[in-house]
Amino acid sequence: MNIARFSAFAALLTAFTGLCIHSAAADSTAKAANLAVVRNFYAAGDDPQRAASFFASDAVVRMDETKPPITGSAAILAALKALTAHGEKLTARITSNFVAGPVVAVRHVDTLTVPGEQTQTYKLAAVFIVRDGKIKEWSEYSDQ
């Protein structure tokens, strides 16, 4: 009788362990995918159309913590276009990141090159919510 109970317990434990391993692997894959969305967004640099393609249609963006958020893909595209409307070149280099489920937090250094002016760099921190392969929320903060 004890052997039967032990065998049943062992089988249950084995099944549970398998589920945990599978769940951890799936979680790791989801985290990597969410981070990839954010990395690809930053890699779009000064291509507003490409950068905007990473956002959900109802996304909410706060590029400046002192201004109201921008809502919706059309408004986000317009804001991204405004960043490079006069030939500006924008690049971002992620220096660190943290991912927990749909939350992706990054520290990055942006370099802004404006024709005829001195190149400027900005240290920033950002928090994203990524769902179904699209950015739903993005908030940017100065890290100076």
Q: What is the CATH number of the domain that holds 100?
A: 3.10.450.50
pLDDT of residue 88: 86
Domain count, the chain: 1
Model confidence at 21: pLDDT above 70: no
pLDDT of residue 66: 87
State the residue range of the domain holding 53. 2-142
Count Cα atoms within 13 angstroms, Cβ side, for 115: 5
Both tokens of 55, joined, read: 């956002």
Model pTM score: 0.79
- Going by C-alpha positions, the residue among 139, 9, 131, 127 that lies closest to residue 58 is 131
User: How many Cβ atoms from other residues are within 10 Å of residue 104's Cβ?
Assistant: 24
* Best-predicted range by mean pLDDT (25-29, 44-48, 104-108, 112-116): 104-108
